[in-house]
């Protein structure tokens, strides 16, 4: 294969890069774009300075339209927004998902407790992919598929590969986004198990600043 022409910037060299091994994924095609790497972050500065294909913006608070709106406006790549499913559910999650689509989100993400009835209702109301988080192979995978879920977001820690294999045994064609862990080995294991895309958790801004400050002190 010919070498890909590359263009960079003196001012934007210091970006968060995802592990190259993620390129081995098949990717998930969404509206004609093939997405292989998802950055797990709500930090606008990091979102603006990464080579990941897309962003998965889920946070441990009640979803708020002002937050998703700010992230969508700031990002220069597709965003999948969290719209609840646990404490925030029902009509509120539905309205959050509709708002996210209207603001330009490429997809929505629901938490593990989401009832299948809400997934089915979302599929009738919005025209962007519905993603459900899976944390155990005991989750109702068949029910999720029957409800119409588009993407499984597998976050099972050490059990991630087992969950991926179980999902693929039930439906080999369903799309899977999986956490890759902290090493290339765990990312490769997830890909081998059948993950179509990988989510990567970047260092915090504090950790990134620490590296820069250490370099400044050495200089």
pLDDT of residue 197: 98
pLDDT, position 189: 96
User: What CA–CA distance (Å, rounded) separates 214 from 211?
Assistant: 5
60-107 pLDDT per residue, tens: 888 999 999 999 999 999 999 999 887 677 789 999 999 999 999 999
At residue 2, the pLDDT reads 66
What confidence score (pLDDT) does residue 11 get?
67
Residues of the chain with pLDDT under 50: none
DSSP-H helix ranges across the chain: 44-47, 65-74, 90-103, 116-125, 141-147, 160-170, 184-193, 205-218
Domains with residue ranges and CATH for the chain:
20-218 (3.20.20.60)
So what's the pLDDT on residue 22? 97
Q: Tell me the pLDDT tens digit for each residue of 123-137.
A: 999 999 999 999 998
Which of 92, 123, 91, 86 shows the shortest CA–CA distance to 107? 123
Predicted local confidence at residue 1, as pLDDT:
52
């Amino acid at each position: 294969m010919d070498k890909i022409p590359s263009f960079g910037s003196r001012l934007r060299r210091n970006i968060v890069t995802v592990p190259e091994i993620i390129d081995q994924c098949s990717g998930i095609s969404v509206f004609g774009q093939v997405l292989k790497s998802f950055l797990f972050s709500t930090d606008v500065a990091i979102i603006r300075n990464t080579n990941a294909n897309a962003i998965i913006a889920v946070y441990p608070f009640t979803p708020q339209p002002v937050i998703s709106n700010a992230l969508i406006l700031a990002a220069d790549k597709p965003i999948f927004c969290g719209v609840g499913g646990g404490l925030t559910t029902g009509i509120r999650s539905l309205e959050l998902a509709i708002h996210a689509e209207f603001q330009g989100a490429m997809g929505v993400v629901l938490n593990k407790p989401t009832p299948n009835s809400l997934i089915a209702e979302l599929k009738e109301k919005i025209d962007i992919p519905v993603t459900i988080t899976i944390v155990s192979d005991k989750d109702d995978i068949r029910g999720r598929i029957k409800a119409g879920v588009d993407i499984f977001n597998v976050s099972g820690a050490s059990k991630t590969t087992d969950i991926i294999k179980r999902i693929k045994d039930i439906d080999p064609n369903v799309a899977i986004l999986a956490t890759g862990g902290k090493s290339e080995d765990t990312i490769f294991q997830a890909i081998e198990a059948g993950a179509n895309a990988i989510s990567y958790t970047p260092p915090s801004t504090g950790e990134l600043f620490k590296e820069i400050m250490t370099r400044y002190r050495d200089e």
